[in-house]
Amino acid sequence: MRALDQFRLDAGPPGALLLRDVPTGAVPATPPHPTAPTVKDRTSELVMLTVAALLGHAVGYRPEHGGEIVQNIVPTRQGASAQISTSSRVDLLLHTETAFHPHRPRHLLLLCLRGDPAAGTTLASVAALLDHLDPETIDILSAPRFRTAVDASFLAGRPSPIGPLLPVLRGRGDEAALVYDADLTTGEDAGARRALDALAAVIEEHHRTVVLDTGDLLVIDNHRAVHGRSAFTPRFDGTDRWLQRSFVVDDLDPSTDDRDGLVITTEFALA
């Protein structure tokens, strides 16, 4: 608990914390899709909510699995090749969680109930990236010259609206925060696009990978690190990788008008 309290105050250069041997309870067969019923007990859910309470406030997002506060992340056949959490056959590109959202989480919790040795969770910290970017690129990334589209999972088939012009990098030094999605963020002009290419190259060279196994809880500071996942081959036989995920915000007040209880309900539509 002390490590979590310190992480809440200062995530440090890595921007992520890995806790091992977290109780999960007995793990039954992996469900075929995130909202399928399971016979598991609630041990892992209680652990997730306890950790979330130490960091802030656990919330759900209505388009994400109906707004469940603790979500099951499992591979699905229909999502296998998409840039979404239920994919498997493609690398999930590094990104800030819900980078497009005005009420994006500060922390992301990923608890492994069943691992897959081929599925590596990829991480790149802001601190590591800044060390390898030149001052001009940092200045461009800090200017409002970038747009991030809304993830398809939040649109229910509607066309994606064009996000507002915003910086990708916010703050400096220990206060620096990255808001970036390799799939959804674009530069508004040639210089911005070159800066994004430079950022992507540094991320590719300086990210690290951790393979999660049963009982591993990865806590990510969503300001200080971007994350993704390598491709793997699902079997769809009840033995596939199974993570649980929770989103944590520092403060509930900013989302008051866009929230039903603990479920954030922001709607995205074409302007």
pLDDT of 155: 86
Residue 152 placed within a domain: yes
Note the pLDDT tens digit of each residue in 8-22: 989 999 999 999 999
Q: Note whether residue 269 is domain-resident.
A: no
Q: Find the mean pLDDT for residues 43-56.
A: 97
pLDDT at 270 over 70: no
Residue-range definition of the domain harbouring residue 62 = 2-264
User: Maximum distance among all alpha carbons in the chain?
Assistant: 54
CA dist 165 and 176 (Å) reads 19
Residues 148, 100 contacting (CB under 8 angstroms): yes
Q: What is the pLDDT of residue 140?
A: 98
Beta strand segments in the chain, E: 16-19, 57-61, 71-73, 92-95, 107-114, 120-125, 146-148, 169-170, 177-178, 185-187, 208-211, 217-221, 225-229, 242-249, 259-260, 263-264
Closest C-alpha to 265, from 56, 67, 52, 58: 67
SS3 call for 216: coil
- Cα dihedral 206, 210, 216, 221 in deg (nearest 10): 20
Residue 85 sits at φ, ψ, to 5 deg, of -65, -25
Residue 133 domain flag: yes
pLDDT tens-digit readout, 114-172 = 999 999 999 999 999 999 999 999 999 999 999 999 998 888 777 777 889 999 999 98
Q: From its phi and psi, is residue 99 left (phi > 0), alpha (psi between -120 and 50) or beta?
A: alpha
Domain count, the chain: 1
**Residue 235 in domain:** yes
pLDDT value at position 67?
96
Instruction: Supply the pLDDT for residue 250.
Output: 96
Residue 271 lies in a domain: no
Burial of 3 (0-12, 13-18, 19+ CB in 10 A): exposed
C-alpha to C-alpha distance for 211 and 248, rounded to whole angstroms: 23
164-208 pLDDT per residue, tens:
999 999 998 878 999 999 999 999 999 999 999 999 999 999 999
The CATH number of residue 37's host domain is 3.60.130.10
Looking at residue 160, its pLDDT comes to 76
Residue with tokens 């969503």: 222
Q: Indicate the DSSP class of residue 181.
A: B
pLDDT tens string 72-105:
999 999 999 999 999 999 999 999 999 999 999 9
**What's the pLDDT at 173?**
80
Confidence of residue 271 (pLDDT cuts 50, 70, 90): low
In a domain? residue 46: yes
In a domain, 270, yes or no: no
Mean pLDDT, all residues of the chain: 95
